[in-house]
Structure 1
Amino acid sequence: MTDANTASLIVERHVVIVTGSGAFTVGGDVLTGPVDSVDKLEKLIEWAHGNRGLLQPIPAGDADADPARIWVVGAGCRHLITPDPGAGDSGLVEQLGRSLAPLVGRGWELRHGKGRAVVLARGVGAQRVSVEIVAELHPWLVGERDDLVEDAAELGRRLHRWSAVLGALPAGSGAASAAVINDRIMRARAGRRGAVVSEPGVLPANVMAEIRVQPPWCAPASEVEEEFEHSDQLVWLTQECPELAAAGTLTFGYGQPQVLDAITAAAASTGQKRPFGLWRVTLPPAGDMRLPQMLPPPHPQMRLDTPTLAWVTTEDLDGLAKDVRDGGAGLPAARLGIEQAIVWPQQTRLLEAWSTRLREAREEFANDAPLRALVDSAAAEYLQALADPEPWADPAWRQHFQPAWAAAIAARVRFRGRRAAMRISREYRLWPVYARDAAMIYATGLDEATGEPVDLSDTHSRLGRMTVTHQAAVTDELILEVLTAENTAEVAAALSAALEGPGQRTPIAVAPKMEASNPRGVESPASETAAVDADQGPLNGASVTAKGSAAKDDVTPSPTTAGTQSGRASNRAVSGGAPAAVLHTDGLWLADGTRVELGPPIVHVGQVAELAYTHHLGYRLTAKYNEPGQIWITEAACQEFGIDVAAISRRDRAKSLRQLTENIDFVTGAVNEGWSLGGAGEDPNAHRLGTWTRVYRDDKRGVMIALIPGMGTGADEMPILSDEPAPAQIAKRLQLLADALRFPWKINAGVTAVDLMLQTRTKTWSPQEWRDVVFAPSTTAPPFGIGDVESDFDWSRRPTSDERQRRYIHAYDRGGSYVAGIAGLELPIGDPIHHPDGAPFNAKTPGYWLVDIPETPDWRLPYVLNPRGLQFTGPKWVCTPTLERAIELGYQPQILQAWLWSRHGRVLLGWYERFRDASAMLDLDDPDAQAARDQAKIIRTHGIGIIGSDEHLKGKPAYSPERRLHVLAKAKANIVYRLHQIGEKTGQWPLAVATDTVLYASDDPDPVTAWPGGPESFGRGFGQYKPEGSGLLDEHLEHLNGRDYRGKRDLIPAREWRANLCTDAEGC
């Protein structure tokens, strides 16, 4: 390896760095000012090469020299490349070629270089200049440090060090940089002794190499709970540089492979030294082998109860044959029924020299953390990319596509991890609770001998060693989250989030459960599996048909199965994770699209309720409480059960249904067999069904039966039903909604919202205090006339003469307007204290304040103290957030009287967070997710309204008009804050505001780019603004009259407007 000083001198002669501020040597010396044209680039090349002795060819041993390099980074790219520097590094090569094309007419040769580069070459006198132009908007060499993109000195330092230690210049990515090193090694071998790989290792189409180390796997909640009993902390135990540790020690094949038949393959597999290859085997069921139940299977494709055909590597054969004690399966090749093999006669440790060079670089960079991290990144990215053809599409890179190598490396890493897990089980009697790739999560306690925390890290320093990288305490919250998990996917999410932070709380994909009968198997989320207990079998001979297709007995079972978390796993485990199923004329539809064909015809509603028990419907909320399961019955099924659907009154559906179902056979048959029906009302002897009815027996918990014909189907009431969805879609949407909110739909939006408020208790309150104190029904009546101020905006103004010259008007909707301000909002608790002479204003104290309303001199904005532009003749009551915003805007209203709550808190914070998370989780380009998202919006909107409703909630828990008024006031105050901020910053002021819609005039036809508020306030998140509608300003002036605004329905919806723009815009 070249010594550092010599290498630095060489790199100095071969590379010039171009940033936005100019051209620099690798040592950081300034060469020129900004290189912002092709002419300046040409002059730079000629001057640097001719006058400074720079840009010299890079020696490449016995091979031809490589071109010198001009490395254009950051703003330097934007100066030099046209027309679109924002396309990213992947598109810069084509742009670079187009920008440099004029040089061809001046005698320069222009060709595509290796990777993200083009090469310029031309004879200059007796010499030939050849320069590789590499363009990177964000150089890979700076890692995540955006602040270093324009730092020529640090870029040069890293380039110095990298090339000095690794013997090659870095490329535009980690994988490419590592590939360059390997290519240099291969070129040095050419013409000498040593293996040279020049062709890709493409596999036959029917051969699928297993390149996963370990798909996500998690122990069931009951096993995790057992591990928690003797644990104080979670630790994330992972292998250090696992792929790099394996690559240099493995033998890989190259050249032309051979296909072996069953007899030849079997003989080769049992030879003294197996050739490198892939072997088609039958993996026996894991359940038939004496394997540890607290570890995943030894191969990702192995199932619990079913043999599996798979292609495995030679490394897999070696690992499976080892004793279970050593991480293997005690499974010799002779027991695998080898049918075929692909082997490579030529084989050697092809990556040994490459691996050695990177290992030595890690040691060299021991005190240079950024470069050491880049070495680790390059090694991992390259070895993982061996199985991906995309990075190697360039013909110059094609030899790096080697999926069989990647599979062998994955197997080596997998069995190394299993070996470590078995050693830890012997030494510490601990098992992993979660595994993913080369890492595992353990729950650990204190060492009995020393009293210190158990350290599972290996004591040696070799690569591949097990090392603890993250630790977290086992908290009561974590234990509860695990115990209340619906499935192992949620257990995995809780464990990972505890160690990796809140960002990991999005659902984690978990390897599919092997078979439903496996109590330790990994399970998919309830929304991804059919809710049928494989042990009990379907009730009354029912059969499960996936996606409505006929079941086939001759098909090998899929790794995913119909099954949810079994009740056997723990006496605390929930019997099912699905909130609802939909009963139609062709069977029962579950959330994953599975149709359960029913056997004997259903004759009464008790049999419908029985389906909820059979398929474990219900939604767990706490360790001790589940919401009952729901069966939704379609209109067609209702008709079959004898309900006269056509006679249902649309004016009062629930009352009409009760009348139509009273004492029909479908109902009385259930009563005669011992079932009871809720909702009898004044007549306890009446037997009937409403839109929602609780059906129960004395020996079983109730089931909610929902009759879809009794529900509204409008988009403003039931978005999940508004587009005539199929039964499977309804079930899926209910599942999506429940999973996103962590709470199911219940009866209607108001009930769902209020029950969710009661559910989202904070730890500072006991359950009894939460219900009896925090959410006790309010006894404080709002002061007379407060609605004049505490109401939604309904305001417009006439455009100025300058504004009237603009062509368009755009309306923007504020997302989650009411709930957006809840996160930091102090809300009243209990009764207020009266201050008849007023009190000093405190923005943190909720209250009603009687104030004189001053006149507003600012006609450009709606007035926060008079949102509808009314004529006030005296003082008015306002809430704290309104008065706070008025004071911040410079008004000084006199406080005459006050009702203030000394006890207060952010009691709706948890409720708000559920909707915030659900809105983000469901914001997908999927109609079912969008329907569920819209349903969540209905819930939160109704929730804010109903807590102040005398008609629906007065005297009941959560009734609190003062909280509703404070939430409304906060939303109004925040709207004014944003409008004022935009106006002061840009000079653009709204023309109208109606509730949570604001309108601006613009000359830009695109409402997205016309938004005046900047990117931080634009989007689909809570409190952000998104386009709602647009139109021509001239045609909208009648609605901008200085009074209330009524023009929204005359605007063209945003999606339609933008679609029309696209038809006229090239490339839209």
Structure 2
Amino acid sequence: MATEEELFASVDALLEEEPLLPSPAERARLREAAGITQARLAAALKTSTQSVKNWENGRSEPKEPRLSAYQRLLKGWAAKYPASPGASVAEPAPVVAPRPEPVPQTSAGPAAAPGAKGSVPAVRRPATASSAPAVRRAAAPAVDSRFPHGPLAVLDGDGSAYGVDGIVLDCPARTVPELVEWTLRESGLGAPKLHRHGKDSDPLIVLTAAAAVKLGLPERLEGHEQRRSLRLPADHPVVKQVAKAKWRLTRRGFGPWARIYRTAQGGQRQCVQLAVLSWDALDERSWPGVTEMEPAGIARALGVYARRVITPRGSTAVSGLELMTALRPPTRAVQDPRTGNWVSGHNPGSLGTDPMDPAPPEATQEHPVVVNSGWMGGFLDEEAYQWVRPVDLLTDEECHLPYAVGLDLNTAFLAAASRLTVGLSGPEHFVNPPFNPKVPGSWLVDLSHVELDPRLPSPFTPTGERPAGPAWYQTHTVAYAQELGCNVAPLEAYLRRETGAYLDPWHDRLKNAYVDTLADLGVTKDLSDAEFLEAMERRTQADPGMAAVLSAVKATVKGGVGKLRERPQGRTYQEGERWPALERPTWRPDIRAAVISKARVNMHRKLLNMSRMTGLFPLAVLSDCVVYPSPGDSPLDFLPYAASGKPLPGGFRLGPSPGLAKLEGVQPMLWAVDLMEKGLNPARHIKGGDAVLDEGE
């Protein structure tokens, strides 16, 4: 029989235990039954509304002295508002952060295995959806046991590291080197490779302004208006800390996007990427409104982008280019037939590891290939449309229509990248070659004799003006001339023997990201055209976080294509010098030209088919936006439909997929005519805001 002393000891142990709270769902039920708002409860307990939300979502638990007060309140409510008979309140399973498994060492191994040293950090929130529910949820991706906490985290000044799916980790780091060590050894952050021959994505830590200051970084940098050259000076204490701890910075130094690394050991990468929000790491044009969100919202938006596209590695343009390489790694392991050893070899279908000089007409005027050779033979001018129909070609009937309606093609460059054959080897020069539409390259052809309706832009020039004589064109432009019935006789050509659909996996991944994110905003493929227009009208209000992800996906497409021909930067650059971008295998102006050429040809084909099916001609075109005169304020008033109600093939069609159209804006017809008379492009301003950015630049 237990002694009195033993019984008292057991009772004392119970008294010392923390008060037991009901389940998060029951907490919310009791508060709502009492008619108390989360804000009022927060005021009573002297805490924040967000903390109350976290308690009711199971993301965190209150601490003393609030814990006892909260328990007393809940007990009082439970006595007044008992659960209805038969109702059960599910008790959530406790969240246990799985300890990551060791990473197998391979020649293309990932970062040092999270959890290899130290312990998994405390997880203070379970994986729950954001408070802004999406309209449609895709199946959650399988969790890689090496990266149980996702690809990234947003670190706040109180040491809370907000990850994907609502997880919050406790980060004890007080210096940048400690943060790097914690990220690699304990955080469980990272992402698996996108291709079996590729590399795992390095973990990303996004720093709020408060976190940056806590780590010894300035909240803002001097000269922050010049973002390209933004970085800490070499003698800054944090830079010295990094060096003293035997970590290294890339040549870009410690800027808005800083990569801190050590040489890989045993095939395992040791690299962490930092993004400093208050240093404008996230461009507002690509990530609208994200920097104003709470850390959890930022983590959610970036996490969705990381899972659907790639872990951000800089600007969306940089991420777009990096995605190409991640999906088409330049090397793979091959067996040396002489020794039997496994060595690094070329991965077929990729661009390889060595930079490739373009043909002179594919280069830019300052390129060494042009300057050193004295090339005077002209250049490719494959750019997006900037065309306005001459005012004297407007008819009275058109001028008396009440509206000008702008249509915008969804990610037109992405649609053009689908099944696009590009060159994978170096250019070879040919004289008077027969034209072959299946061979990618640059052709010197005279298309000035091609007669087209003057109410349409010429498909051969970005200005829409008729060519004046022989000029260099990409294969798709010449093939379209042939499609129109023209006899093409190239004078010269620079062609590539090895070809492939290099951009296909890039297209597929970004297309899925675009369509899935639109679906999260309520814009799905099963909508009628009228429903589609309504859903597009309210999409930005449905979920600002997902709207920002959609904007980032579109910017990734445009910026990635633009990076294929990145120009030199800086006032000190002199013509003929090589610039850093030329050392990348992905500096390929010919591939950029192929994408833009196909996009412009696709646009003209639709314009031509529209004129044949409806008798309508555009007022103006700017890149992927076209403006038509219309009897009503909707595209439904002039787009061609069959008697069955289905859209006629060949023209513009409404829908959420890349290459289909959406409403860009509506203005009075007199407004459009007035701009045209002033020499301005209505397509640039049809949305009602500032000028539209050209794709690819």
**Short-chain TM bin:** 0.5 to 0.7
Q: 1:820 aligns with which of 415, 420, 436?
A: 415
Return the letter of the residue paired with 1:795: V
Q: 1:777 aligns with which of 344, 355, 361?
A: 355
Return the letter of the residue paired with 1:785: G
Establish whether residue 945 from structure 1 lines up as the match of residue 512 from structure 2: no
Aligned to 2:346: 768
Aligned to 2:154: 582
Aligned to 2:684: 1048
Aligned to 1:702: 271
Give the SS at the match of 1:910: helix
Distance in 2 (alpha carbons) for counterparts of 1:764 and 1:639: 41
Cα distance, 1:1000 vs structure 2 = 0.6
Aligned to 1:867: 462
Give the SS at the match of 2:444: strand
Aligned to 1:795: 388
**In 2, are the aligned partners of 1:1029 and 1:1051 still within 8 Å (CA)?**
yes
**In 2, are the aligned partners of 1:758 and 1:775 still within 8 Å (CA)?**
no
Establish whether residue 913 from structure 1 lines up as the match of residue 515 from structure 2: no
Give the SS at the match of 2:438: coil
**In 2, are the aligned partners of 1:758 and 1:770 still within 8 Å (CA)?**
no
Cα distance, 1:992 vs structure 2 = 1.0
Aligned to 1:711: 280
**Percent identity of the aligned residues?**
24
Aligned to 1:932: 549
Cα distance, 1:606 vs structure 2 = 2.4
Q: Comparing both structures, which one devotes a greater share of its residues to helix?
A: 1
Return the letter of the residue paired with 1:701: Q
Where does 1:919-1068 land on structure 2 (aligned, <5 Å)?
Answer: 919-923=514-518, 924-925=520-521, 926-951=543-568, 953-1012=581-640, 1014=647, 1017-1041=653-677, 1045=681, 1048-1049=684-685, 1051-1052=687-688
Distance in 2 (alpha carbons) for counterparts of 1:746 and 1:828: 27
Q: Are residues 782 and 1037 of structure 1, via their aligned partners in 2, closer, same or farther at CA, if it must alter by over 3 Å? A: farther
Aligned to 1:845: 439
Aligned residues: 504
Length-normalised TM-score, structure 2? 0.64
**Max radius of gyration: which structure?**
1
Q: Are residues 903 and 595 of structure 1, via their aligned partners in 2, closer, same or farther at CA, if it must alter by over 3 Å? A: closer
Where does 1:366-765 land on structure 2 (aligned, <5 Å)?
Answer: 538-539=120-121, 542=122, 544-545=124-125, 573-576=145-148, 578-586=150-158, 587-598=160-171, 602-621=174-193, 622=195, 625-653=199-227, 655-659=229-233, 662-664=235-237, 666-669=238-241, 671-672=243-244, 674-679=245-250, 689-696=254-261, 701-716=270-285, 718-719=286-287, 722=290, 724-741=292-309, 743-761=310-328
Q: Are residues 604 and 901 of structure 1, via their aligned partners in 2, closer, same or farther at CA, if it must alter by over 3 Å? A: closer
Distance in 1 (alpha carbons) for counterparts of 2:320 and 2:221: 31
Q: 1:880 aligns with which of 467, 475, 480?
A: 475
Cα distance, 1:855 vs structure 2 = 4.8
Give the SS at the match of 1:778: coil
Q: Are residues 995 and 643 of structure 1, via their aligned partners in 2, closer, same or farther at CA, if it must alter by over 3 Å? A: same
**In 1, are the aligned partners of 2:611 and 2:617 still within 8 Å (CA)?**
yes
Distance in 2 (alpha carbons) for counterparts of 1:692 and 1:762: 23
For residues 50-109 of structure 1, give each alpha carbon's deviation from its aligned partner in whole angstroms, at most 9, with x where no partner exists: xxxxxxxxxxxxxxxxxxxxxxxxxxxxxxxxxxxxxxxxxxxxxxxxxxxxxxxxxxxx
Cα distance, 1:916 vs structure 2 = 0.8
Cα distance, 1:902 vs structure 2 = 2.6
Cα distance, 1:991 vs structure 2 = 1.4
Cα distance, 1:773 vs structure 2 = 5.1
Q: Are residues 889 and 868 of structure 1, via their aligned partners in 2, closer, same or farther at CA, if it must alter by over 3 Å? A: same
Distance in 1 (alpha carbons) for counterparts of 2:442 and 2:288: 39
Give the SS at the match of 1:694: strand
Return the letter of the residue paired with 1:1028: E
Distance in 2 (alpha carbons) for counterparts of 1:834 and 1:647: 49
Return the letter of the residue paired with 1:942: G
Aligned to 1:212: none
Distance in 2 (alpha carbons) for counterparts of 1:785 and 1:773: 26
For residues 496-545 of structure 1, give each alpha carbon's deviation from its aligned partner in whole angstroms, at most 9, with x where no partner exists: xxxxxxxxxxxxxxx9999656999xxxxxxxxxx998x97654xx5614
Distance in 2 (alpha carbons) for counterparts of 1:822 and 1:733: 26
Cα distance, 1:772 vs structure 2 = 7.5
Larger mean CA deviation between 840-849 and 640-649 belongs to: 640-649
**In 1, are the aligned partners of 2:435 and 2:488 still within 8 Å (CA)?**
no
Cα distance, 1:668 vs structure 2 = 4.0
Distance in 2 (alpha carbons) for counterparts of 1:730 and 1:608: 20
For residues 19-71 of structure 1, give each alpha carbon's deviation from its aligned partner in whole angstroms, at most 9, with x where no partner exists: xxxxxxxxxxxxxxxxxxxxxxxxxxxxxxxxxxxxxxxxxxxxxxxxxxxxx
Cα distance, 1:725 vs structure 2 = 1.7
Return the letter of the residue paired with 2:236: N
Q: Are residues 775 and 1030 of structure 1, via their aligned partners in 2, closer, same or farther at CA, if it must alter by over 3 Å? A: farther
Cα distance, 1:740 vs structure 2 = 1.0
Specify which structure has the bigger relative contact order, considering alpha-carbon pairs within 8 angstroms and separated by 6 or more residues. Answer: 2
For residues 618-674 of structure 1, give each alpha carbon's deviation from its aligned partner in whole angstroms, at most 9, with x where no partner exists: 111056731111111111221233333244322334644312x8432x4544554x3
Give the SS at the match of 2:549: helix
Distance in 2 (alpha carbons) for counterparts of 1:602 and 1:789: 51
5+ unaligned residues in a row in structure 2: which ranges? Answer: 1-84, 102-112, 129-140, 335-344, 362-376, 522-542, 569-579, 642-646, 691-697
Distance in 2 (alpha carbons) for counterparts of 1:644 and 1:764: 40
Cα distance, 1:919 vs structure 2 = 0.7
Where does 1:182-201 land on structure 2 (aligned, <5 Å)?
Answer: none
Distance in 2 (alpha carbons) for counterparts of 1:711 and 1:644: 13
Distance in 1 (alpha carbons) for counterparts of 2:212 and 2:405: 46
Q: Comparing both structures, which one devotes a greater share of its residues to strand?
A: 1
For residues 707-739 of structure 1, give each alpha carbon's deviation from its aligned partner in whole angstroms, at most 9, with x where no partner exists: 2222355432x4165561221122111210121
For residues 868-906 of structure 1, give each alpha carbon's deviation from its aligned partner in whole angstroms, at most 9, with x where no partner exists: 145754311111111111222233344322222232121
Return the letter of the residue paired with 1:781: A
5+ unaligned residues in a row in structure 1: which ranges? Answer: 1-340, 343-402, 404-510, 521-530, 549-562, 567-572, 682-687, 1055-1068
Q: Are residues 821 and 960 of structure 1, via their aligned partners in 2, closer, same or farther at CA, if it must alter by over 3 Å? A: same
Where does 1:234-383 land on structure 2 (aligned, <5 Å)?
Answer: none
**In 2, are the aligned partners of 1:810 and 1:1001 still within 8 Å (CA)?**
yes
Distance in 2 (alpha carbons) for counterparts of 1:941 and 1:752: 11
Return the letter of the residue paired with 2:272: V
CA RMSD after TM alignment: 3.9
Cα distance, 1:547 vs structure 2 = 9.1
For residues 116-136 of structure 1, give each alpha carbon's deviation from its aligned partner in whole angstroms, at most 9, with x where no partner exists: xxxxxxxxxxxxxxxxxxxxx
**In 1, are the aligned partners of 2:385 and 2:621 still within 8 Å (CA)?**
no
**In 2, are the aligned partners of 1:749 and 1:938 still within 8 Å (CA)?**
yes
Distance in 2 (alpha carbons) for counterparts of 1:633 and 1:619: 19
Distance in 1 (alpha carbons) for counterparts of 2:349 and 2:249: 24
**In 1, are the aligned partners of 2:444 and 2:493 still within 8 Å (CA)?**
yes
